[in-house]
Amino acid sequence: MKPKAVLAYCREKGIRFVDLRFSDNAGRWNHFTIPASALSENSFSQGFGLADFSPHSHIIAVPNPEQSYLDPLQPSPTLILFASVANAQTAEVWDYDAREVAKRSVEAVRSVGLADSVSVQLAASFNYRTASSIDPESTQSVGPGYLSGGRLDRDAALRAEIAELCSEAGVSIECHLLGNLEASEILLSHKSLVNACDELLVLRSILESHALSRNLELSPLVLSGESKWILSKNSEPMIGGMQEFALSELAWFAAGGVIRHQAALAAVAVAASAKPTPMPPPGTTVARGSSYLSSRGILAEHDLETLVSVHYGSFDPRHRALCVRGLQSNACPYLVLSATLMAMIDGILNKIPPLTPSTLSYPSNPADPSNPDSHDLRLHESELYKSLEQDYQFLTFADVFSEQLIQGLIKTLS
């Protein structure tokens, strides 16, 4: 929408307040709310000052008219607008504006002619702590598993409520289900990279607000999910092809780039998380896959602990997607997915082939970190800053990640 259209929408829907939001580098939303009457066409160019936004003072938040959502849980009609953050004196985009980093990563793909658009499908994994789930006298003869239903899926009705709230907010949902570890999952529809991150943060906010409204508690368990990628050119998806696993050459080398830079991506994922993520024990599957820290660094099928695999959306090869595991439920999606896309670009431009089961001898116990052929990352978090220090040049391509931002991430880890 254009600024005039946003203002007209506010009048049509009787919007009383506008909530301006921007993500920090740890996946948390910063926001402030203004009366709808304070929003004018001029606001979309001049912004709103944040004088005491410590430790970065003299910052201007500029509302973005491209994407807006209704907040379904506020008593007064409230419109959510994402905002860009800029230096008040120079008008330059703030180095730590994660959403702008995601925009630049997509522009980097276009600038070298690899694709016209990048779409991603994301999912939110979560647990509610309800009376039934923590009742010590509650027994089940059969434990719930992936896609379980009926009495084994106790949160189905709660997920349906959340799906209704998302519909009211304008967030597109493909499905909801019971995943592994008794965790619920809500799968969002494929969207452009920036909009996919926007909708994921809106969904996270709805989950938190819904839990408060129902006097429920969201489990603090940190889960890892999947991101499903489709790169398109002239409106034609370019993931399916004649390479191994029915991938195109572009997708093949994109997978190679992600695998080559796995350690650096793991570092970004941890640095861009709201709180430290504990290392899962060897052999543990977290949610529907492992984190960047513990995934096997190969491209394979039928293995939820590999870093990269293929997703078949339907029989139509145009619905084929490259699946990358490791987006943590407490991480900033803008930064983690931007870093992943930059690794893909590096793999494509430098024709980096991926490791696959056919190119390595698979050990009998691939999760054993003492085995040098395991291709299982198993880095300790205290060592991750070294990985990013030694391998970050791919992030600076086309000035997507600034040196200042990368050094800030390294400092967070060290």
* pLDDT (tens digit per residue) in 257-296: 999 999 999 999 988 887 644 444 444 333 334 577 778 8
Q: What pLDDT is attached to residue 368?
A: 40
Same domain, 112 and 69: no
Query: Would you say residue 201 lies in a domain?
Result: no
Same domain, 307 and 366: yes
Query: Would you say residue 134 lies in a domain?
Result: no
Query: Would you say residue 171 lies in a domain?
Result: no
Q: What pLDDT is attached to residue 347?
A: 97
Query: Would you say residue 233 lies in a domain?
Result: yes
Same domain, 304 and 249: yes
Average confidence score pLDDT of the chain: 83
Place of tokens 């190119």: 359
The tens digit of pLDDT for each residue in 120-133 reads 999 888 887 654 44
Which has more pLDDT, 351 or 139? Answer: 351
Which has more pLDDT, 293 or 150? Answer: 293
Q: Which amino acid is at 288?
A: R
Structural contact between residues 247 and 384, judged by C-beta atoms closer than 8 angstroms: no
Same domain, 307 and 272: yes
CATH code for the domain in which residue 338 is found: 3.30.590.10
Same domain, 347 and 250: yes
Same domain, 265 and 407: yes
Same domain, 277 and 377: yes
Query: Would you say residue 368 lies in a domain?
Result: yes
Same domain, 227 and 314: yes
Sheet architecture: strand order including 78-87: 29-35, 17-23, 78-87, 59-70, 48-50
Parallel/antiparallel/unpaired status of strands 173-178 and 78-87: unpaired
Which has more pLDDT, 179 or 72? Answer: 72
Same domain, 71 and 111: no
Which has more pLDDT, 127 or 411? Answer: 411
Backbone angles phi, psi at 215, to 5 degrees: 55, 40
CATH code for the domain in which residue 34 is found: 3.10.20.70
Cα 3 to Cα 9: distance, rounded to the nearest angstrom: 10
Cα 401 to Cα 388: distance, rounded to the nearest angstrom: 13
Q: What pLDDT is attached to residue 282?
A: 43
The tally of domains found in the chain comes to 2
Query: Would you say residue 76 lies in a domain?
Result: yes
Parallel/antiparallel/unpaired status of strands 236-237 and 128-129: unpaired
Same domain, 302 and 406: yes
Residues in the chain: 414
Query: Would you say residue 198 lies in a domain?
Result: no
Same domain, 32 and 107: no
Range of the domain at 26: 3-94
Query: Would you say residue 214 lies in a domain?
Result: no
Structural contact between residues 340 and 348, judged by C-beta atoms closer than 8 angstroms: no
Same domain, 288 and 397: yes
